Chain A
Amino acid sequence: MAHRVLTVCPYCGSGCQIYLTVENGSILGAEPGPGRTNESELCLKGYYGWDFLKNTKRLTARLTKPLLRYKRTDDFQEVSWEEAIGFAAEKLQAIKQKYGPEAIMATGSARGPGNEANYIMQKFVRAVLGSNNIDHCARVCHGSSVAGLAATLGNGAMSNSIPEIEDTKCVFIFGYNAADSHPIVARRILKAKEKGAKIIVTDPRFTEQARVADLWLPIKNGTNMALVNAFGHVLLAERLYKPEYVEQFTEGFETYQKVVARYTPEYAETITGIPAQDIRKAARMYANAPSATILWGMGVTQFGQAVDVVKGLSSLALLTGNFGRPHVGVGPVRGQNNVQGACDHGALPNMFPGYQPVADKAVRKKFAAAWGVKSLPEKPGYHLTEVPHLVKEGKLKAYYIFGEDPVQSDPDAAAVREALNAMELVIVQDIFMNKTALHADVIFPATSWGEHEGVYSAADRGFQKFNKAIEPQGDVKPDWEIISLLATALGYPMKYACSEEIWEELRRLCPIYEGVTYQRLEELGSIQWPCPSLDHPGTPYLYEGNKFDTPSGKGLLFAAEFRPPKEAPDSQYPFVLCTVREIGHYSVRTMTGNCAALQVLADEPGFIQINPADLQQLGIQDQELVWVSSRRGKVIARALSTERVNTGAVYMTYHWWIGACNELTIDHLDPISRTPEYKYCAVQVEKIIDQAAAEQYVQTEYSKLKKKMFCS
């Protein structure tokens, strides 16, 4: 008899509830569940993105046994858990003794493992290894939002909830294509429009999101700060802001005023290419709406000047009093199902779980007592994006990579590979073989989403319980159990009977999660933190009474001078490359690349979106294969002619393993959040004369790749 299991989608951060239909231990289908954010709707990946669980081997194979090699030149051998854990523990111990605890780096995982596993990983790093060297892929994504909003508002998360979007009267969307990245959020935006809201979209491309907007601001790549400053300028110059609100609830107005003073719309037009009258129109539309919401994505955060822009955007909401009530606020909409959760649970180099700073002595003391260690390190850990440089400097010797694939996801893949090769120990813990695992010494196979339970955090701070639907195949273990075994082997006994036991430990250490239990989550479906007590209903929107979580309780107004991107196009590399995403694929594609329908809709080598005028100049036809090169690498991709992109810029989605755009991207970082400038580097696009040979090359490369991923 088939039965249904209610769980949470493993893809974007919308946090959609899904029913999986299961029969004889196998999944038959997915249907929408009655979730708070999705209200019985799902998107493409939600409906058709679960068959990777059947180990379809379309791109890469599931890991089913611990794998080990004593020499990097050897092939991996299947070994027992005892041998794999023993090897890793011994090596970690030796590296720690020889170079100190700071020579070891670890990641959290923003994906399937869940909050409990992230809590255990950071506990392992802090209490067992003895450093704060833990970070995760939020660093390459919304790290700038977390840093920016923490500074201006005191909290790095979405201020309001996804369901509230549909009742706002203006949605100001900046560098965010919800239609591709969060269709379930796009649905709310469309509903808002139906209810009379104005939609403004800032994007250099005429995206699906821009297409449904009332006003599209086609911004020149890499000029966000100039536009945000001009917006602020108009709000002040035309007295569209709320002086009483600013007086009462904010600080920094005078400095703000000075910085934005010279950013007239006319001046901004010279930088951004957006007509001055459209900047004015948009600012008026936003300021005159009785309620307005700003949403942004990677088009804001993945620049060398990203934190400043985030601060600038939150300043627009502060100036117009769009906080402290429903249907307003700021929304950095998180891209991975549990990237909010990995941040929430201390997979950050400066935060314990519950956003309790490692710099705080009392906090360190509390965690040390709870974890039974004498003390915990005070010094903040390394950032994920600094790993290649730290390896070069001889500071990092070991890397424990948990549910991430940096060779595919991080900028300048060649530099990442070089760093991994130079390390003395690389541990990979994953559900699939991946590009990073090719550089590992030992691989721990873990259970996947669908095979274990836990709690995820949706993008809008909503905790939800996800459930086990099927039994895992092979000799795999839940992530928290693997980490516990390693901790125990390192002399710190760690043993939990189930994930709920971990949750119970962590909620008692985190005042903002204390009122959330498995039982309450099952009763209520979702609880948004802060939820400080068992009788607390959770917090749909932050900053009630316009009291911000900053030290002064006030919101900080902030503007910075515009700084252009690092690598400008030149005669050798005349195009700007901006990395974007594909609706049917997700992150490094290990999951969606193994899903049949999603693979049929889009497959290797992936597209490079380019304006027909540019294609014509290059003598390239639509759908032809082309070489794309930068100062860092060269890849093959298929030209997609589209008037929806601006001339002079090309766009590649970052999921492809052959057309891997991160072979090209630059590791130029925002100085505060250390987030890379994925959205801007210089590339060349070259015509290939022998198309048949190029097609053959793609097929050969794909086959070779699959073989390396144990698919043959």
Chain B
Amino acid sequence: MNNFVIADPDKCIGCRTCEVACVMAHGEHPLEQLTEENFLPRLRLVRTAKISMPIQCRQCEDAPCAQSCPEQAILQNGHSVQVTAGKCIGCKSCLLACPYGAIDLVVRPSSTGAKLNTVEALKCDLCLERTGGPACIQVCPTKALYQVEGSQMAGRLQQKRRKAAMGVVKVSGN
């Protein structure tokens, strides 16, 4: 199974440090040059009446974004789903397909004039290129963010089943 990053809403304090860390990990701009235009985090804090947590790509096994992409710009790569830069044509199918709202399209006017615009589909890439792993996890002051390893999923489930069994024992008094 794929790896993915997820937040524990019981630990998230809604501070958005993760958003800035994501921008800094992927951008080429030094901190002092961040602007609204180049601030493009791949996870976004959501705040409702009761919940605060960042939402990002779940690295779906049968990813609807990849399914919907006419250019095969989104592909399974190792233990995650990755966007191939340069292949995206900006058709927005992935935006419509993703049930999490975890993929976004950045459209920039082209500087060369040869093309109309340059486009880039942005989503969590698990900071594959980064030493130290996902930047969001590293900076989260309350350790609300963590990476779930697909390879450990079976073990996690087994643990949960054991816990459930013990719960039944307690309830029945045996």
The reply on B141 being an interface residue by CB < 8 A is yes
Q: Once the chains bind, are A187 and B39 in contact (CB under 8 Å)? A: no
Contact residues in B for A661 (Cβ distance below 8 Å)? none
The distance in angstroms between the C-alpha atoms of A644 and B39, with both chains bound, is 27
Q: Once the chains bind, are A47 and B17 in contact (CB under 8 Å)? A: yes
Determine which of A48, A54, A183, A600 lies in contact with B13 in the assembled complex, contact meaning CB atoms within 8 Å. Answer: A183
Contact residues in B for A42 (Cβ distance below 8 Å)? 139, 141
Q: Chain B interface: which of A115-123, A157-165, A206-214?
A: A206-214
Q: Once the chains bind, are A44 and B15 in contact (CB under 8 Å)? A: yes
- Most interface-central of A184, A206, A583, A597 (chain B CB within 10 A): A597
Q: Once the chains bind, are B141 and A583 in contact (CB under 8 Å)? A: no
Task: Across the A-B interface, give the 4 residue pairs with the lowest CB-CB distance, nearest first.
Answer: A179-B13, A643-B49, A596-B34, A51-B32
Q: State how many angstroms separate the Cβ of A179 from the closest Cβ of chain B.
A: 4
Contact residues in B for A597 (Cβ distance below 8 Å)? 20, 23-24, 31, 34, 39
Q: State how many angstroms separate the Cβ of A644 from the closest Cβ of chain B.
A: 6
The reply on A186 being an interface residue by CB < 8 A is yes
The distance in angstroms between the C-alpha atoms of A644 and B34, with both chains bound, is 30
Q: Once the chains bind, are A583 and B16 in contact (CB under 8 Å)? A: yes
Q: State how many angstroms separate the Cβ of B160 from the closest Cβ of chain A.
A: 19
The reply on A41 being an interface residue by CB < 8 A is yes
Q: Once the chains bind, are B31 and A43 in contact (CB under 8 Å)? A: no
How does the 8 Å CB contact mask read for B40-52 relative to A, with 1 for contact and 0 for none? 0000000101111
Determine which of A44, A56, A644 lies in contact with B32 in the assembled complex, contact meaning CB atoms within 8 Å. Answer: A56
Q: State how many angstroms separate the Cβ of A612 from the closest Cβ of chain B.
A: 9
Interface residues of A in 41-67 (CB under 8 A from B): 41-44, 47-48, 50-51, 54, 56
Interface residues of A in 160-184 (CB under 8 A from B): 179-180, 183-184
The reply on B33 being an interface residue by CB < 8 A is yes
Given A183-B142, A206-B49, A597-B20; A583-B33 close (CB under 8 Å): no
Contact residues in A for B16 (Cβ distance below 8 Å)? 44, 583-584, 601
Contact residues in A for B31 (Cβ distance below 8 Å)? 29, 48, 50-51, 595-597
The distance in angstroms between the C-alpha atoms of A48 and B23, with both chains bound, is 12
The reply on B21 being an interface residue by CB < 8 A is yes
The reply on A486 being an interface residue by CB < 8 A is no
The reply on A190 being an interface residue by CB < 8 A is yes
The reply on B10 being an interface residue by CB < 8 A is yes
User: How would you classify the secondary structure of chain B's contact residues: helix, strand, loop or mixed?
Assistant: loop
How does the 8 Å CB contact mask read for A596-616 relative to B, with 1 for contact and 0 for none? 110011000000000000000
Contact residues in A for B139 (Cβ distance below 8 Å)? 42, 47
Q: Once the chains bind, are A187 and B20 in contact (CB under 8 Å)? A: no
Q: Once the chains bind, are B20 and A583 in contact (CB under 8 Å)? A: no
Q: Once the chains bind, are A600 and B34 in contact (CB under 8 Å)? A: yes
Nearest chain-A residue to B34 (Cβ)? A596
User: How would you classify the secondary structure of chain A's contact residues: helix, strand, loop or mixed?
Assistant: helix
Given A54-B32, A183-B15, A596-B32; A48-B20 close (CB under 8 Å): yes
Contact residues in B for A601 (Cβ distance below 8 Å)? 16, 19-20
Given A41-B141, A184-B141, A643-B49; A596-B33 close (CB under 8 Å): yes
How does the 8 Å CB contact mask read for A559-603 relative to B, with 1 for contact and 0 for none? 000000000000000000000000110000000000111001100
The distance in angstroms between the C-alpha atoms of A184 and B140, with both chains bound, is 10
The distance in angstroms between the C-alpha atoms of A209 and B51, with both chains bound, is 12
Determine which of B13, B20, B47 lies in contact with A186 in the assembled complex, contact meaning CB atoms within 8 Å. Answer: B13
Using a CB–CB distance below 8 Å, which chain A residues touch chain B? 28-29, 41-44, 47-48, 50-51, 54, 56, 179-180, 183-184, 186-187, 190, 206, 208-209, 211-212, 583-584, 595-597, 600-601, 642-644
Contact residues in A for B33 (Cβ distance below 8 Å)? 596
The reply on B108 being an interface residue by CB < 8 A is no
Determine which of B15, B24, B51 lies in contact with A43 in the assembled complex, contact meaning CB atoms within 8 Å. Answer: B15
Q: State how many angstroms separate the Cβ of B30 from the closest Cβ of chain A.
A: 8
Report 7 cross-chain contacts, Cβ distance below 8 Å, ordered by A residue: A28-B30, A50-B31, A179-B15, A180-B13, A187-B142, A212-B11, A595-B32
The distance in angstroms between the C-alpha atoms of A155 and B17, with both chains bound, is 35
Q: Once the chains bind, are B141 and A211 in contact (CB under 8 Å)? A: no
The distance in angstroms between the C-alpha atoms of A595 and B30, with both chains bound, is 12
Q: Once the chains bind, are B15 and A583 in contact (CB under 8 Å)? A: yes
Q: Once the chains bind, are A43 and B141 in contact (CB under 8 Å)? A: yes
Nearest chain-A residue to B45 (Cβ)? A601
Nearest chain-B residue to A600 (Cβ)? B39
Contact residues in A for B129 (Cβ distance below 8 Å)? none
The reply on B14 being an interface residue by CB < 8 A is yes
Contact residues in B for A209 (Cβ distance below 8 Å)? 13
The reply on B158 being an interface residue by CB < 8 A is no
Q: Once the chains bind, are B11 and A190 in contact (CB under 8 Å)? A: yes
The reply on B35 being an interface residue by CB < 8 A is yes
Contact residues in A for B15 (Cβ distance below 8 Å)? 43-44, 179-180, 183, 583-584
Nearest chain-B residue to A56 (Cβ)? B32
Nearest chain-A residue to B9 (Cβ)? A211
Contact residues in B for A596 (Cβ distance below 8 Å)? 31-35
- Most interface-central of A600, A642, A644 (chain B CB within 10 A): A600
The distance in angstroms between the C-alpha atoms of A208 and B51, with both chains bound, is 9
The distance in angstroms between the C-alpha atoms of A601 and B17, with both chains bound, is 10
Q: Can you name 18 extra interface pairs (CB under 8 A) apart from A41-B141, A584-B16?
A: A29-B31, A44-B15, A44-B141, A47-B17, A48-B31, A50-B31, A51-B32, A56-B32, A183-B15, A190-B142, A206-B49, A211-B50, A583-B16, A596-B34, A597-B20, A600-B34, A601-B16, A601-B20
Q: State how many angstroms separate the Cβ of B138 from the closest Cβ of chain A.
A: 10
Contact residues in A for B34 (Cβ distance below 8 Å)? 596-597, 600
The reply on B28 being an interface residue by CB < 8 A is no
Contact residues in B for A584 (Cβ distance below 8 Å)? 15-16
The reply on B36 being an interface residue by CB < 8 A is yes
Nearest chain-B residue to A183 (Cβ)? B141
Q: State how many angstroms separate the Cβ of B136 from the closest Cβ of chain A.
A: 12
Q: Once the chains bind, are A43 and B32 in contact (CB under 8 Å)? A: no
Nearest chain-A residue to B17 (Cβ)? A44
The distance in angstroms between the C-alpha atoms of A643 and B49, with both chains bound, is 5
Nearest chain-B residue to A53 (Cβ)? B32
The distance in angstroms between the C-alpha atoms of A124 and B21, with both chains bound, is 44
Nearest chain-A residue to B37 (Cβ)? A600
Q: Once the chains bind, are B142 and A186 in contact (CB under 8 Å)? A: yes
Q: State how many angstroms separate the Cβ of B132 from the closest Cβ of chain A.
A: 11
The distance in angstroms between the C-alpha atoms of A462 and B35, with both chains bound, is 37
The distance in angstroms between the C-alpha atoms of A584 and B49, with both chains bound, is 21
Interface residues of B in 141-167 (CB under 8 A from A): 141-143
Q: State how many angstroms separate the Cβ of B41 from the closest Cβ of chain A.
A: 10
- Most interface-central of A51, A595, A601 (chain B CB within 10 A): A601
Q: Once the chains bind, are B20 and A44 in contact (CB under 8 Å)? A: yes
Q: State how many angstroms separate the Cβ of B171 from the closest Cβ of chain A.
A: 22
Contact residues in A for B142 (Cβ distance below 8 Å)? 183, 186-187, 190
Contact residues in B for A50 (Cβ distance below 8 Å)? 31
The distance in angstroms between the C-alpha atoms of A361 and B141, with both chains bound, is 48
The distance in angstroms between the C-alpha atoms of A424 and B102, with both chains bound, is 60
Q: Once the chains bind, are B39 and A47 in contact (CB under 8 Å)? A: no
Interface residues of B in 31-77 (CB under 8 A from A): 31-36, 39, 47, 49-52
- Most interface-central of A47, A184, A186 (chain B CB within 10 A): A47
The distance in angstroms between the C-alpha atoms of A26 and B19, with both chains bound, is 24
The distance in angstroms between the C-alpha atoms of A193 and B35, with both chains bound, is 37
Q: State how many angstroms separate the Cβ of A89 from the closest Cβ of chain B.
A: 38
The distance in angstroms between the C-alpha atoms of A51 and B24, with both chains bound, is 14
Contact residues in A for B36 (Cβ distance below 8 Å)? 600
The distance in angstroms between the C-alpha atoms of A41 and B144, with both chains bound, is 13
Contact residues in B for A44 (Cβ distance below 8 Å)? 15-17, 20, 141
Determine which of A47, A206, A208, A643 lies in contact with B20 in the assembled complex, contact meaning CB atoms within 8 Å. Answer: A47
The distance in angstroms between the C-alpha atoms of A190 and B8, with both chains bound, is 12
